[in-house]
Amino acid sequence: MGWNDELLIAADPDQTYQRHLQHSIEVLDDPAAPRQGAAWRPVVVSYCGNGNLGADLRAAETIRHVRHLVPGCRPRMTVLGRAIPFAQFDNTEQLAIDSYLPTFVKDRLVNADAVIVAEGSLFTSTFSDDLAMFFVAALAQRRRNGKPAIAFGIETDAMSARLLTFVQEHSGGCSIFCRNRDSVASMQAHGLPAMLGADPAWAYGAPGADSRALREARQTYGSDGAYVVICPVNPFWWPVRLDRQKLEVFSATGRYRDTQFNGAYFHCFDDSQRQRYEHYVQQYAAYIDWCRQRLNKVPVLLAMDGVDSVICADINARVAIQTKVVPARASTPESIAALLGGADFVVSNRFHAAILALLGRVPCIAVSMDGRLEALYRDMGLDDLLLRTDSIALCAELQELSTRLLEKGAAVRQTILLGHALQLRRLGEMGRALVQAVQASASHVHTLDAGLPWARYLPPLSPAMQALLAETSAEYCG
Cα–Cα–Cα angle for 455, 458, 463, nearest 5°? 85
CB 109 within 8 A of CB 43: yes
For residue 385, report the phi and psi dihedrals to the nearest 5 degrees.
-105, 25
Res 331: pLDDT: 86
**Choices 3.40.50.2300, 3.40.980.10, 3.40.50.2000, 3.30.70.20: CATH for 212-418:** 3.40.50.2000
pLDDT, one tens digit per residue, over 31-52 is: 877 665 678 999 999 999 988 9
CB burial string 190-225: b at 16+ within 10 A, e below: eebebbbbbbbbbbbbbbbeebebbeebbeebbeee
pTM: 0.95
Q: What is the 3-state secondary structure (H, E, C) of 375-437?
A: HHHHHHCCHHHEEECCCCCHHHHHHHHHHHHHHHHHHHHHHHHHHHHHHHHHHHHHHHHHHHH
Mean pLDDT lowest for which of 81-85, 328-332, 334-338?
81-85
411: burial class by Cβ within 10 Å (0-12, 13-18, 19+)?
exposed
Instruction: Reply yes or no on domain 3-203 having CATH 3.90.1150.10.
Output: no
Residue 3 pLDDT more than 50?
yes
Domain positions in the chain: 3-203, 212-418
Considering all CA atoms of the chain, what is the largest pairwise distance in Å, rounded to the nearest integer?
70
Give the pLDDT band (50/70/90) at residue 473. Answer: low
Residue 6 pLDDT more than 80?
yes
Q: Which position has the higher pLDDT, 366 or 120? A: 366
Q: Do domains 3-203 and 212-418 have the same CATH topology?
A: yes
CA of 432: how far to CAs of 68, 88, 176, in Å? 11, 21, 13
Res 478: pLDDT: 44
Residues 147-176, mean pLDDT to the nearest whole number = 95
Give the pLDDT band (50/70/90) at residue 244. Answer: confident
